Structure 1
Amino acid sequence: MNFHDTLLERTAPERQQLLCIPIIQSALAGNIGREDYLAFLQQAYHHVRHTVPLLMACGARLPTRLEWLREAIGEYIEEEMGHQEWVLDDIAACGGNRAAAAASTPALATELMVSYAYDTIQRGNPVGFFGMVLVLEGTSVALATRAADTLQQALGLPRNGFSYLLSHGDLDVEHVGFFKGLMDRLEDPDDQRAVVHAAQRFYTLYGDIFRTLRADGARLAEVA
């Protein structure tokens, strides 16, 4: 079995726990309000704006033996530049306050996930950051386009209020193939363990953002 398949197998329970979070299921059924969607976008802004700095930090910390992975990070950076602005544009298109969202403080769950990403790079094995890539891109492919289509119809919001979700649902199909190729080139057991461990943690941390959207950062449910 190649490493990418092993990674998916080892993280399947955490992935399923994320997908079963009530507010995610409600969104897929079109049963959330505009304020819930705006709350999601605001927290998305607070972690998406760190994507490029995190990629840069990861690339800087990689050892010489992973020069090929550093080059791949350059491609990721080019793709991810400016995506936080898409989120703010969606907020404005849906009637939210763009400036207020940009000036807001992230929820506890969002801040913790971002902090853990930086900590993984600086304190642990920087390759572990790709566990976060798996979680965010994999979740986007599984949910983004479907959720955007359902919510637009249910909430009566303009199509340009879903540019972040729609672009990531489509873009990340290609990214997942690129990601798979990178993971299958990881041969060092320590690198592989770092990615698995981080992915398991990021599924929980990212899930907590959804678990707490309606509670101003107070966790609503324990992981099953």
Structure 2
Amino acid sequence: MTFHERLLADTTDARATLVTLPIIQRALAGDIPRETYIDFLTQAYHHVRHTVPLLMACGARLPARLEWLRTAIGEYIEEEMGHQEWVLDDIAACDADRAAAAASEPSLATELMVAYAYDTIARGNPVGFFGMVLVLEGTSVALATRAATSIETSLGLPRTAFSYLLSHGDLDIEHAGFFEGLMNRLDDPDDQAAVVHAARRFYVLYGNVFRSLRTSDVDVRHEEAA
């Protein structure tokens, strides 16, 4: 069994818990209000804008023996540059306030997920950051295109409101093979353990981001009154 195969096997239960969340199943069925989709995009903006800084921080902390992985991170950075702007464009296409979304504060769940990513790199084994890559890219491959199609149909939003989901569904399929190759080159048991540990944590943390989304007009009114 390759390390990538073991990584997937060791995180099966955590991945299943995420993808079976009611909010995700509702999104796949197109059964979410416009406000929930905008809230999802807003939280996506708040973590996507950290992708390149996190990749740079990870690359800077890698030991010399993983120079090949640092080179691969350079390719990731080139691919991921500016994707937070795609998210803001989608928000504007939903007739929501692009500037307000960019100026907003992330939810507690989103802030904690991002903070854990930085902490993994700075305090733990920086290779563990690839656990976050597995969770976010793997979830996109499995769900993004399906969810975008269903939500577009049910809410009657323009295709321009789904550039982030649609592009990442397709882009992350390409990334999946690249990621698999990188993981299978990791031969140090400590590096492998760090990726598995972080992936399991990020499935929980990313699930909490979805759990925190506003799911009805009642949620929106409650937040505005708070």
TM-score tier, shorter chain, comes to over 0.9
Structure 1: runs of 5 or more not aligned: 217-224
Q: How many residues align?
A: 216
Distance 1:96 1:38 in 2: 8
Distance 1:140 1:185 in 2: 23
Distance 1:214 1:188 in 2: 42
Q: CA deviation at 1:72?
A: 0.1
Distance 2:212 2:89 in 1: 23
Which string of whole-angstrom CA distances, capped at 9 and with x for unpartnered residues, describes residues 160-209 of structure 1?
00000000000000100000000000000000000000000000000000
1:162 is paired with a residue of what secondary structure? Answer: helix
Report 1:190-205 matches (<5 A). 190-205=190-205
Q: CA deviation at 1:214?
A: 2.0
Report 1:177-216 matches (<5 A). 177-214=177-214
Structure 2: runs of 5 or more not aligned: 220-226
Distance 1:130 1:26 in 2: 28
1:184 is paired with a residue of what secondary structure? Answer: helix
State the partner residue of 1:168: 168
Q: CA deviation at 1:61?
A: 0.1
Does the CA contact (< 8 Å) of 2:35 and 2:214 recur in 1?
A: no
Which amino acid in structure 1 is aligned with residue 94 of structure 2? C
State the partner residue of 2:78: 78
Report 1:51-200 matches (<5 A). 51-200=51-200
After TM superposition, where is structure 1 displaced by more than 2 Å over at least 4 residues in a row?
none
Give the TM-score normalised by the residue count of structure 1.
0.96
1:106 is paired with a residue of what secondary structure? Answer: coil
C-alpha root-mean-square deviation of aligned residues, in Å? 0.8
State the partner residue of 2:29: 29
State the partner residue of 1:20: 20
Q: CA deviation at 1:35?
A: 0.3
Q: Of Structure 1 and Structure 2, which has the larger fraction of its residues in helix?
A: 2
1:192 is paired with a residue of what secondary structure? Answer: helix
